[in-house]
Structure 1
């Protein structure tokens, strides 16, 4: 908002009135107002920017009105400052001077020339070249009796544009999983959307006028963008809610002055049956694209697997790992392609050489089409496209069906690449201000203007020499600057030799500047030729950019193919370096992994402490593996390892194992670790139960469920009861392949009660001094968690460890009285039941412990807990 302005507009200067008029049209944006060589901000914007980017807040004298808060920065440094603001979630409107101040009659004309928001930016200073930057829209509406959400998202830098309709209750999970930089919603829904995403950092919620969410208007906007009479050709005709969201995105792009959008040539529906759905907790727990420790790439699956050569492949492999395939045929095609690239080292090397010379075609195309580019980028763009013939030849000669198909999709754009090579000087710089970037010979008219300018400059040197001889001043110089043009500079020591016909232009401390008729004549010729040359060069460059934009669809198709080739090669490089195997894929429900390894942990461990491999088997007899064992023995790693191997296999990669046969998994569910969501009022245990409930409500018989320590966030009796009941429900009703790691040794009883449940344990070796964790998962159960030993390893004081062992010994013998601590007087000896009346003793004596089943024991213990709490 504009903030407090200290009175009406009439009290302000003409320039400030101009500022306020622009600010009224863009109240929700930080307005950067060009004043000379600076971008200035005023009022509340100045206070905000001063704090956000740590620049000095000053005040501008405003005549009769109160002084105005002001903060600004040099225009040549604006990209860095704008990047800081956008990364902090602000929207920025850039208001530039659009006429020469020297020619302006009155106040300089200014207009909004660019708008930058978290979801709409083309700047390399803001973007991560290996990650998409999504702008998302959500439109809530009713379809029959169901309330649905139309969702659409676009990356304006790559032109990826997709839509879908999902249940309204799934919207929060969808947005969190996609994690767009900006979410567009109706203004009336903004407060609800912000509450829905509370705690999800980095997503700006932008409210738009409700009328923009009209179905008919959205359809017109889409048809206008794609220049069609209907949307049937895109397969989105029946997706009403999704079309509304997509139309909102295009309207927002128009509102934010994002013209020249012809490079956005396609839109597609998200196909739910094509990719595996991974919810946010599974992505987090398996650390697919970021570490749970600090949210960085370090320690993630992506860091290990991503061996891509260019940003196109880098962004695609991130999407592949988050969208594993659900059909066996395309998965096998990827595996076959990886196998060929693994075995054919020469072909893989040739691919790598070409792929590493490819720049970011998608983002370069977006900047070129919107005229945000520079000549050097266009030159690199042309060179990147020139690799297509070589890539096409390599792919077409392959024995892999997928590689050959990719080769057929590549289009050689010789006319375009030749045009770029002919037009752009290979020695061009990053700036266009001084010209010289269009290659000599490309335009006869431009060459002629440059010749005039060059000849005139030679004549200026002749004038300099003539005037030195005429005046006898050897230090006389003919020079140029943008304010005074061409002039003759003479030092003060030689002013007595200046001829009378010299016309003074400027006085300096140590010199005077003059002009003469001959200099004026050639100055006019030079400046006229240079001005016309710069204008023509800019026009030629603009036409080249428009020619490239007309080929946007073909360029985007090539970029998609190059990205896929890069990902397949990356898989092959990782497979060779890490010793991965080709997995088998079928439509069955068995899963056999021999000597499987955790792909990330094995890279982090030292050679002195290598990763211990483990088998994992699911078949008709083994559907749930109940895994008991101590902390630090590798149970959680074993669970994650199985999930990551399945994920890698269905993403098309080879896997870390001696062999693997994977029956297709429709979803991977995880409940691992403890976390809370206090921002939404959810405790650790409530978060655990929410995640567990989601698994039970969404898993199918084709799912893979990974459960670690269910029920640990509440009392022992409650937690064990929940874990037992969940196990029964999964084994008996869902029948999903499940790895269930637990400290509740009582759950081992389920092997005898439920078909498909089989006990495994993480093995240890006990010595007199310590416990050695072997990290090997073997058949059978265990009844010791070695928690005290882990506490000792963590560095807990020895007296605490000794006391814990005393208490544990007493409890294991079912002694009512626990030995007193040495520092406690005998009269104060701890007695676990000293507050319980004699009826508790009778109740204990009535229990036949030897004949109790685990579930009966739970019930009896629950009654005893009532005595302890004084409730019975």
Structure 2
């Protein structure tokens, strides 16, 4: 590691700074927080980064000579707040603590790294959102023959969820966007992919380069076998995993280096099975607003906000994962639906379960902090209370019929001995810190009770010594007192100093008093201070033993947490189904779909009772595979597309759906293409982004997919865009066969119905009055012939003269005549719909005379129109 600018050599530094530099060499990529007294200090370049990130003062100090070094620090008692800010800004932090009492140190106080915090490795409530998972991910690349492949592993250290996935190299983007990691580990050998990986993720995700040796297959297998204490990984179902095993080994190696081997609570690892779960790309998650709104990225206005009625953090995190990974197997979906259906019917049972679930602490994250000795006594007690609620849950589920609920009831691990031990050990009044002790219950440990008794009688014993000495000396104002510097002492005023006995040993002289000690007080002082120290150490030991007992049951506790979370999700679905009048979808293995009076789950909640949502049907079968939906803006086309996608997604998640009836043929993927914006960072225009998304759909969709297209080709000239939209529609219908909803303003696409038997036209209806247009938001059979764009402009508040002029121009264009203003006078000008340039009009007329329009197929007509456009001067046409 090269020296940081301005840094002195170790031999030129003070002993403490030499100690700092030695630690810093071992953690060069981390901000090192170095405990000095009551502060955590940072030095050199770290200090400058800390000062800027936290907006705290950058100071200087002497380094044992004429030179000075930059430093910035903050009080140790506020470290959680400051560290949280640093990690949120993408820094990795190493905490170096004093591990011996400075008063007992001989020379420099011993210091060691006691904690490592990175965006992907944190247990802090100040950083984590208890309703979101926080993933650390590793990506490894390899080859299978000529194919470039990738392996991913991801772990949430706070819940011990650990999974791997093998994908084609091109599938890394979808997987990363599905996992949404906070930190990604990449080999230095693959540093050229760093920017590519960064572009796949939000800007605040940290991508860390790791040494190449960590990415060898041999090393990964050793790390995995050593951690799971097995000779093979068959028991976890990943024995056939490819490059992803390397990624898993990298994660464990990284955790071992940063967590000092406190990883015994990570007991399982599993494969992500693409045959079991639907993959949702970033565009689909964004366009359907599954977990966040497109407006501001928050949960407000999302599907998650509407259906999340979970009562525990574990349930909230699982529901989020379910929404992002819908099921693809009918039996698994139906098992969930049966559980939801029974809880919907059993309202009293559901309410009692919800009440109990609301009292259960976050078992998963409590376990991780307890197992890594980061937990406070209060959290251990809350875990014990959660374990005590499991028999109640089991009893409530005992009479259930749904297989899922019966399985949950029979699979819970009650752990009564551990729950009882925690209840006996931790005082109910235990606070959130361990600084003052007192968190172990009276009666739990005999020696602790004896030491406490000695400490608790201190005041009485001091008063007894004080009274005895007043009687012996005749000094009525004599006091026995204590402070941290001098310990216990006897204070006598100067006026009474002549009465002080010879066996009094002077400790301190004050202006108006003298302080002394006596053998009896020395003996008591030693006993009481020793008792207090021993009491504190014994409490820490007892808590550590209790935490180790909890960690020993990590696997069973994690399984309990998973079952509680699953039950919480079922209750949430049942509550939503009852409140919003959802129906139970029928799941089938065919490629059809029937939705009767379907509603958009989010919009109907936003509109409320004052403006009830207009329900619509949707049908896909052998005779109808594609629906071309035309109509004006604001008429409900986009909402209709999204509601069909959300109903299909909810059904395959295992939830009831907003419809009178729904029959869903299993969907393998949902694709959406809705709107677009420039990707300036990658040099991509709006149209290129649109075409990238469209190409991805055409290359990845299958006959079992659901495709939702809301405008295609609007980012280029009319004829270019129309040609692309037409060709895409043909390709999807003939070559893919996917169920497709295509909302468009290209009314010309209505002609597709005449050429393809499985394509049908629909339109979003409006009604016109004398002075305005009313959008009915009803999707009906047939094509629309008007976009009502000027009416929408009027509703948006466009100046009246602009609206009036636009209507004049539209009327003129439809009649091939537009009145153009001039300085001299206004006179009508005959305008061709193809060209406004008179000098080229004769060329176009001759070209038109050669075209037999009646015999042209629509696609050929579009090509001829393109030629005419080129003849007329490109974009001027």
TM range (shorter): over 0.9
Aligned pairs for 1:787-866 (under 5 A) are: 787-815=789-817, 818-821=818-821, 826=826, 832-836=836-840, 838-844=842-848, 854-866=858-870
Q: Deviations over 1:376-434 (max 9, x none)?
A: 00000000011111111222210111100111111110011011011111111111122
1:569 equivalent in structure 2: 571
**8 Å CA contact 1:190, 1:206 repeated in 2:** no
Cα root mean square deviation, aligned: 2.3
How many residues end up aligned between the 2 structures? 869
Could you tell me how far 1:846 is from its partner in structure 2? 5.5
For residues 104 and 746 of structure 1, do their structure 2 counterparts lie closer, same or farther at Cα, with a shift above 3 Å needed? same
Kindly indicate whether residue 150 of structure 2 is the aligned counterpart of residue 146 of structure 1: no
Aligned to 1:630: 632
Give the whole-Å Cα distance in 2 for the aligned partners of 1:85 and 1:738. Answer: 47
Cα separation, 1, equivalents of 2:545 and 2:491: 41
> Quick one: distance in 2 between partners of 1:166 and 1:868?
50
Q: Which residue of 2 aligns with 1:379?
A: 381
Residue of structure 2 in register with 1:131 after alignment: 132
Partner in structure 1 of residue 181 of structure 2 = 180
SS, match of residue 637 in structure 1? helix
Structure 1 residues 698-709: aligned runs within 5 Å: 698-709=700-711
Q: Which residue of 2 aligns with 1:54?
A: 55
Deviates more, 1:126-135 or 1:161-170: 161-170
| Counterpart among 858, 870, 873 of residue 869 in structure 1 | 873
Pairwise CA distance, 1:636:
0.5
What CA deviation, in whole Å up to 9, does each residue of 1:45-78 have, x standing for no partner?
0110111111111111224242111100000000
Aligned to 1:197, what secondary structure does the other structure show?
helix
Distance of aligned partners of 1:810 and 1:429 in 2 relative to their CA distance in 1, 3 Å threshold: same
2:14 alignment counterpart: 13
Q: d(CA) in 2 for partners of 1:642 and 1:507?
A: 87
Deviation of 1:297 (Å): 0.7
1:339 counterpart residue number: 341
Contact 1:215 1:240 in 2 (8 A): no
What CA distance in whole angstroms lies between the structure 2 residues aligned with 1:643 and 1:745? 23
Give the CA deviation at 1:227. Answer: 0.8
**1:201 correspondence with 2:203:** yes
Question: 1:414 — aligned with what?
Answer: 416
Describe the SS at the equivalent of 2:645: helix
Q: Secondary structure in 2 aligned to 1:387?
A: helix
* 1:765 paired residue number: 767
- 583, 588, 595: which one pairs with 1:593? 595
| 3-state DSSP of counterpart to 2:776 | strand
1:205-260 CA-to-partner distances (Å, cap 9, x unmatched) read: 11111011111111111111111111111111111311111111000011113422
2-side partners of 1:575 and 1:184: how far apart?
A: 42
Structure 1 residues 614 and 107, CA, compared in 2 at 3 Å: closer, same or farther? same
- Map 1:517-596 to 2 at 5 A: 517-596=519-598
Change beyond 3 A, Cα 1:867–1:544: same
Contact 1:457–1:526 (8 Å) recurs in 2:
no
How far 1:850 moved relative to its partner?
A: 6.6
Distance 1:378 1:268 in 2: 28
Do the aligned partners of 1:339 and 1:572 also contact (CA within 8 Å) in 2?
A: yes
Q: Any residues of structure 2 matched to 1:172-571 within 5 Å, and which?
A: 172-198=173-199, 200-466=202-468, 478-488=480-490, 499=500, 505=507, 515-571=517-573
What is the deviation of 1:173? 2.6
Aligned partners of 2:496, 2:132: CA distance in 1, in Å? Answer: 64
* Alpha-carbon distance in 2 for matches of 1:144, 1:506: 84
Write the distance in 1 (CA, Å) between the matches of 2:499 and 2:765: 100
Answer whether contact 1:761 1:782 (CA < 8 A) is retained. Answer: yes
For residue 819 of structure 2, give the secondary structure of its aligned residue in structure 1: coil
Change (3 A) 1:503 1:767: farther
1:228 is paired with a residue whose SS is coil
Evaluate the alpha carbon distance shift between residue 814 and residue 83 of structure 1 in structure 2; reply closer, same or farther with a 3 A threshold: same
Instruction: Output the CA distance in 2 between the equivalents of 1:573 and 1:610.
Output: 21
Q: Secondary structure at the match of 1:609?
A: coil
CA shift for structure 1 position 9: 2.1
Match of 2:786 in 1: 784
Deviation per residue, 1:331-375 (Å, 9 max, x gap):
111111111111111110111111111111011111111110011
1:810: how far off?
A: 1.6
Offset at residue 515 of structure 1 (A): 4.1
Change (3 A) 1:558 1:513: farther
TM-score, normalising length from structure 2? Answer: 0.95
Q: Tell me if structure 2 keeps the 8 A contact 1:803–1:821.
A: no
Aligned partners of 1:471 and 1:497 also within 8 Å: no
> Which piece of structure 1 moves more, 386-395 or 645-654?
386-395
Structure 1, 517-526 or 309-318: larger mean CA deviation: 517-526
Aligned-pair distance for 1:467? 5.5
Q: Describe the shift of the 1:483–1:285 C-alpha distance in structure 2 as closer, same or farther (beyond 3 A).
A: farther
Question: Matched residue of 1:836: which SS?
Answer: helix
Report the CA distance shift for 1:494/1:562 in structure 2 as closer, same or farther (over 3 A).
Answer: farther
- Separation of aligned partners in 2, 1:709 and 1:338: 37
Specify the alignment match of 1:712 in structure 2: 714
Distance apart, 1:319 and its partner CA? 0.5
Further displaced range: 586-595 or 555-564: 586-595
- What 5-or-longer segments of structure 2 have no aligned partner? none
Secondary structure, in 3 states, of the residue corresponding to 2:103? Answer: coil
The CA deviation at 1:485 is 2.9
* 1:302 Cα deviation after fit: 0.6
Alignment map for 1:689-704 (pairs within 5 Å): 689-704=691-706
Task: Give the CA deviation at 1:465.
Answer: 4.7
Shift of 1:466: 4.8
CA contact (8 A) 2:174 2:280 kept: no
Corresponding residue for residue 609 of structure 1? 611
1:115 corresponds to which residue? Answer: 116
CA distance in 2 between counterparts of 1:828 and 1:752 reads 39
1:550 and 1:750 map into 2 onto residues whose CA distance is: 66
Distance 1:753 1:472 in 2: 120
- How far is the alpha carbon of 1:658 from its aligned partner? 1.0
In the superposition, relative to structure 1, how do residues 478 and 315 fare at CA in structure 2: closer, same or farther (>3 Å)?
Answer: farther
Mean alpha-carbon deviation: is it higher for 386-395 or for 313-322? 386-395
Between 1:677-686 and 1:628-637, the stretch displaced more is 677-686
Q: Which moved more, 1:415-424 or 1:135-144?
A: 135-144
Q: Answer yes or no: is the 8 Å Cα contact 2:178–2:324 preserved in 1.
A: no
- Aligned partners of 1:383, 1:63: CA distance in 2, in Å? 55
Distance 1:468 1:85, change over 3 A: farther
For the structure 1 residues 190 and 845, does the alpha-carbon distance in structure 2 shift closer, same or farther, using more than 3 Å as the test? same
Shift of 1:804: 1.4
Q: Secondary structure at the match of 1:274?
A: coil
Unaligned segments of structure 1, at least 5 residues: none
Alpha-carbon contact 1:473-1:497 (below 8 Å) kept: no
Distance 2:353 2:193 in 1: 50
SS in 2 for 1:111: strand
Q: Find the aligned partners of 1:799 and 1:847 in 2 and give their Cα distance.
A: 40
